Amino acid sequence: MAVKRGMFFSMIAIVMVMAIIALFVPNQEYVSLFGKVTTVKTRVGKANSFLVAVQKTMIQRALYNSGHYAVKAMVAYVNKTKQPIDLADFDEILLNGTVGGVELADMGISFMVGRGLAYRLEEISNMSARELRLDNTFTVNDVLIVQDNETGYKNFYVGVNLSVWVDADIATWNSTFVVLQVLDVEDYYDPYWIMNRDIYRGFYFANVSNWSTSLFYDFAGSLNYSYDGRAPSFLMRFENSSMGSECCGVETIMDPVAFGIDDEPWSYVDYCYFGRQCNGSKATDKSLWNITGISSVVEGENYYQFKLEVYHIDKYNLSVDRRVVQLP
């Protein structure tokens, strides 16, 4: 009887030990789940790293390059058509290299061939899907090209508002952000001059604070530009606008002989001459003046009959020689 009781208690002890073992040994599901945690962590890390790279570097570089060539294409378009181009068309040029649905390449303008931003985004998307197994979509919500107080007259912004969706199977990311790139006006020709005189002029900005006749002479002879809030900005020149831009207006001087410009009663500052404006500071006195040390009286000589109106005479600190035009 004692033996049977002993055996009975032993059996109970063994069952209890087996129950404890069963409770504390990790089951197959736990083992496989723990093994998956590292995989999940790596996958999430990869997708996150891809999205960060897209936001911080990839789009910036693609936008800089596509934006630069899109502006070059706009200048070429103006040269081809001798017509202004609406800045609202910039998004189409930037993304697809087209204007009004027409390929610029078909017009002989090849700057955007293989450089459209939409094409570049597609390449990045395809490569990440193929190599990183990350399904993704890029959506361009908005495109902008602008000059303001931040950029000043020497630069301008090109930007996109972009949405990115990434699917890593175990998680998805949805991000919307704006990317801006600063481009340099000095990298392009002046579309205003192309339209109005069929002449290619590059933007070279003078750095003069205290003007004199000799500095003005060098400035004009070097075909430089200077800031003026009454003049149109670089971007406004694409639209052949002669209106003023307080933040970003730029102007240049015209030697009538060098540029084959007819003698007309307008100040020989580009936006004044082409825009048929500026003369005089008063409604009753629209005088134009010859400039001492600049204007020539010899026909055919540089600056023959060169003239400016009062505002620019004061701006460049010049002395006047002879009044040329006086209109009521």
Instruction: List residues binding another protein (CB under 8 A).
Output: 6, 10, 13-14, 17-18, 20-21, 24-26, 30-31, 34-35, 38, 42, 45, 49-50, 53, 57-58, 61-62, 64-66, 68-69, 115, 120, 123-124, 127-128, 131-132
Q: Taking the complex as a whole, how short is the minimal distance between the CB of residue 13 and another protein, in angstroms?
A: 6
Cβ-based nearer residue to another protein, 56 or 80: 56
Cβ-based nearer residue to another protein, 58 or 325: 58
The three state secondary structure string of 119-134 is HHHHHHHHHHHHHCCC
Question: From CA 9, how far away is CA 55, in angstroms rounded?
Answer: 69
Cβ-based nearer residue to another protein, 24 or 106: 24
Place of tokens 């599901």: 29
Which residues, 6+ apart, have CB-to-CB distance to 87 below 8 Å? 145, 235, 238, 239
Place of tokens 């002479």: 217
Q: Taking the complex as a whole, how short is the minimal distance between the CB of residue 65 and another protein, in angstroms?
A: 4
Instruction: Give, for 117, the enclosing helix (H) or strand (E).
Output: helix 117-131
Q: Taking the complex as a whole, how short is the minimal distance between the CB of residue 244 and another protein, in angstroms?
A: 31
Cβ-based nearer residue to another protein, 53 or 171: 53
Cβ-based nearer residue to another protein, 123 or 264: 123
Cβ-based nearer residue to another protein, 49 or 214: 49
Q: Taking the complex as a whole, how short is the minimal distance between the CB of residue 47 and another protein, in angstroms?
A: 12
Pairing of strands 98-99, 135-146: unpaired
Q: Taking the complex as a whole, how short is the minimal distance between the CB of residue 147 and another protein, in angstroms?
A: 19
Contact 147, 141 (CB under 8 A): no
Query: b or e along 166-205 (b: 16 or more beta carbons within 10 Å of the residue's beta carbon)?
Result: bbbeeeebeeeeebebebebeebbbbbbbbbbeeebebee
Cβ-based nearer residue to another protein, 66 or 279: 66
The four Cα atoms 312, 318, 266, 262 give a dihedral, to 10 degrees, of: -130
Q: Taking the complex as a whole, how short is the minimal distance between the CB of residue 280 and another protein, in angstroms?
A: 44
Phi, psi at residue 136, to the nearest 5°? Answer: -155, 160
Q: How many CA atoms lie within 13 A of 121 on its CB side?
A: 22
Q: Taking the complex as a whole, how short is the minimal distance between the CB of residue 131 and another protein, in angstroms?
A: 5
